[in-house]
A and B are shown apart, each in its own frame.
Chain A
Amino acid sequence: MRIVVLLKPVPVVGTEKLADGWMVDRSSGLEANGNDEYVLEAALKIVEAHGGEVVTLTMGPAPCTEAIRKALAMGATRAVHVVDSALAGSDALATGLVLAAALGRMEYDLAMAGADTSDGQGGIVGAAVAVHLGLPYLSYAAAIEPDPGAGTVRVRRISPTGYDVMEARMPALVAGTQLLGEPRYPSLRGIMQARSREIASWSLADLGLGPAEVGSAAARTVVDGAVHPPERAGATVVREAPDAAVERIVDFLSARRLI
């Protein structure tokens, strides 16, 4: 099994800030997006069961390297990093095109991505990449079971009422969730091995894309402004004994017309 995991380094949740041009500041302090780590863990388990290798694919600026190195320490054997100054400001459309162009130059049975990212919140890029490449798309995976002999993959997809079991031929693109299981910590041995593992750096030219097709130059969405929502006034603290406390809660909810 050859698996490519799409890995997006994002600002640590709670520390995000804006840089110039309304872009998310990615100059430092990046870590792998939460859902991407669950997906990486699932990919590593599949390879442990069936053999093969996990390669990560990242699009982003130079400070992504630390998060990529951690993925290598967890067990990915090599990494591809699409890095180009023209990529800054890419919207979802451009991101899908770039990732599809990069995947188009790689060999894999499964491409895997997190269902969404903590900074972008869109959750639409995976489906777009699958369409660009003509890949079957299986999303919101709670479990992923490839059958390399039959050349198929089965996914348990979260549904509003339970699960749908989906099946498709490989290669396919799977978007996964937290239900895939807790990611492992890198071992000391893994950290040592990661130092010598290859991070291939690809430019836009390597992908056959021009700078006008991506980044701020091609963005189909325009940010008009950003404001801080008004701060809460600070909590009213209730320390009374239970019966009196409940009376105060009821009064509070009633005053706000919530009951």
Chain B
Amino acid sequence: MAGAIWAIGEMLDGEPTRLTRELATLAAGLSADAQRPGATVLVGAGAAEAAPSLADHGPDVIAVDMDPAGRPAAAVVAEYVAALVREREPAFLLIGASDDGRDVAGSLQAMLGWGALVSAAGVRWTDAGPQAEMSVFGGRLTTTSHLAADHGIVVVRPSAVVAQAGPRPGSVERVEIASAFRLADVRVVDRIVGTTGPVAIEEAMVIVAGGRGVGGPEGFVVVEELASELEGAVGATRAVVDAGWIGYGHQIGQTGKSVRPQLYVAAGISGAIQHKVGMQTSGTIVAINRDPDAPIAEFADLMVVGDLFEILPRLSAALRSRRAR
């Protein structure tokens, strides 16, 4: 039988991440189209306990339940996946484009000598194997690519598919395997948990982002209020992150995160190229800016000319009363 398609999972606080569930759904779809086996591999402390809910997405789960013992999760995952690949010879690995996922993908690329398609916004099955769609040059161009060999890695961005339950749940196989590789030693000597909790802007369906027009850290209150009404996340431009108004985890653009929510509300954001490249593939873009000639008017769907401090609170209130109806 042709080689399997594996999704490589990731856990946060003992739970598979949303991106992991998306990868499992993607593996289910691709393996059905390719008529190849599919599986999701989950490595880490608590993997066995987390596995059944992940199996609901369809593919069988291969769980390696082990304690990373103070080593970085990405290194440990890469070592065990490499050992499993040697033993079971799957053909394609789907890996999430998270920080840890990229580290896993890079390590596996070198350990296995496999090609890698990166930053896939969508993946479909073709006669030539998985074909990845990638948004390049800040969204000005969309490329499609495939792997030259009959095996390889595809690094998949959040929201390539919507995670959903499979027609029937997969099985859970708990595996005890020695990792055949040992990466150079790195120790996690301390974990510092921030006060804000995880900032999942890459996974958010709605983002309300603030720029210089927000005026200062206290100005983000109205941005946060609207984000909360829309059940979305708070984004920011580099200028306001540099100014210390909000943390780097919120930064969207060239040296921050690239996002593609269904709705992007840009408040007090001029739309400089460094920001634009991180958000211009969003579904609908609504801009609120006092300057009708701000560059963002050129790529917004709705350009509201006005003071964000007058608009945002009223919009939050309107959404609240609409929901109450």
- The answer on a CB contact under 8 Å between A259 and B109 is no
Which of A220, A228, A258 sits near B147, CB closer than 8 Å? A220
Residues of A within 8 A of B184 (CB): 130, 134-137, 168, 172
Q: Compute how far the CA of A196 lies from the CA of B233 in the bound complex, rounded to whole angstroms.
A: 50
Give the residue name and chain of the A residue nearest to B241 (CB): A178
Q: Give the residue name and chain of the A residue nearest to B195 (CB).
A: A162
By a CB distance below 8 angstroms, the chain A residues around B110 are 96, 127-132
* Contact in complex: A221, B102 (CB < 8 Å): no
Residues of chain A lying within 8 A (CB to CB) of residue B163: none
**Partner-contacting stretch, out of B26-34, B171-179, B311-319:** B311-319
Q: Is the CB of B281 within 8 A of A252?
A: no
Q: B242 interface residue, CB < 8 Å from A?
A: yes
A149 interface residue (CB < 8 Å to B) = no
A residues near B125, Cβ cutoff 8 Å: none
Residue A164, interface by CB 8 Å: yes
**B145-164 at interface with A (beta carbon < 8 Å):** 145-149, 152, 155
Q: Which of B99, B262, B286 contacts A158 (CB 8 A)?
A: B99
- Verify B305–A137 contact, CB threshold 8 A: no
A110 CB to nearest chain B CB (Å): 14
Whether B228 is near chain A, meaning CB under 8 Å from some CB there, is: no
In the bound complex, how far is the Cα of B147 from the Cα of A136, in angstroms? 29
Q: Please determine whether A127 and B105 come into contact, CB atoms closer than 8 angstroms.
A: yes
State the Cβ distance, A52 to closest chain B Cβ, in Å. Answer: 22
| A221-B128 Cα distance, complex, nearest whole Å | 11
CA separation between A93 and B105, bound complex, in Å? 11
Stretch at the interface among A54-62, A185-193, A233-241: A233-241
Is A226 within 8 A of B75, CB to CB? no
In the complex, how many angstroms separate the beta carbon of B296 from the nearest chain A beta carbon?
A: 9
A224, B136: Cβ atoms under 8 Å? Answer: no
CB distance from B104 to the nearest CB of A (A): 8
Q: Which of A17, A178, A249 contacts B248 (CB 8 A)?
A: A178
Q: B142 contacts which chain A residues (CB < 8 A)?
A: 226-229
Nearest Cβ in chain B — how far from A139, in angstroms? Answer: 5
User: Chain A residues with Cβ under 8 A from B141's Cβ?
Assistant: 18, 226-229
Q: Which residues of chain A are within 8 angstroms of B292 by Cβ–Cβ distance?
A: 237, 239
B263 within 8 A of A: yes
Which residues 247-264 of B sit at the A interface, judged by CB distance below 8 A?
A: 248-249, 251, 254-256, 258, 262-263
Most buried by B among A136, A161, A225, A233: A161
Is the CB of B310 closer than 8 A to any CB of chain A? yes
B-side binding surface: helix, strand, loop or mixed? mixed
**A165 touches B (CB below 8 Å):** yes
Q: Which of B115, B188, B190 contacts A220 (CB 8 A)?
A: B115
Tell yes or no: A215 within 8 A of B by CB. no
Which of A116, A134, A219 is packed against the most chain B CB atoms within 10 Å? Answer: A116
Residues of B within 8 A of A106 (CB): none
- The answer to whether A93 touches B302 (Cβ under 8 A) is no
Supposing A13-B273, A122-B118, A227-B141 touch, asked if A232 and B248 sit within 8 A by C-beta, the answer is no
**Does any Cβ of B come within 8 Å of A246's Cβ?**
yes
Which residues from B are CB-within-8-Å of A159?
99, 191
| Residues of chain B lying within 8 A (CB to CB) of residue A226 | 136, 141-144
**Chain A nearest CB: distance from B232 CB in Å?**
10
A223 at the interface (CB under 8 A from B): yes
- Report whether A221 and B143 are in contact in the complex, using a CB–CB cutoff of 8 Å: no
On whether the beta carbons of B311 and A16 are closer than 8 Å, the reply is no
Look across to chain A and name the residue whose beta carbon is closest to the beta carbon of B152: A220
Residues of B within 8 A of A21 (CB): none
Query: Chain A 192-225 against B: per-residue CB contact (8 Å), 1 yes, 0 no?
Result: 0000000000000000000000000001111111
Interface contacts beyond A177-B248, A235-B302, A245-B311: sample of 10 additional A-B pairs, CB < 8 Å, sorted by A: A38-B255, A92-B118, A119-B137, A124-B103, A124-B118, A139-B99, A168-B184, A220-B115, A236-B302, A243-B314
14 contacts between A and B (CB under 8 A): A14-B273, A18-B141, A123-B106, A124-B106, A131-B183, A161-B12, A166-B186, A221-B115, A221-B147, A229-B141, A235-B303, A238-B303, A245-B304, A256-B284
Q: Which A residues are closer than 8 A to B by beta carbons?
A: 13-14, 16-18, 22, 34-35, 38, 91-93, 96, 116, 118-132, 134-140, 142, 154, 156-169, 172, 177-179, 182, 219-229, 232-233, 235-239, 242-243, 245-250, 252-253, 256, 258-259
A-B CB proximity, top 10 nearest: A220-B115, A127-B106, A124-B106, A131-B110, A122-B118, A162-B194, A128-B110, A165-B190, A235-B303, A14-B273
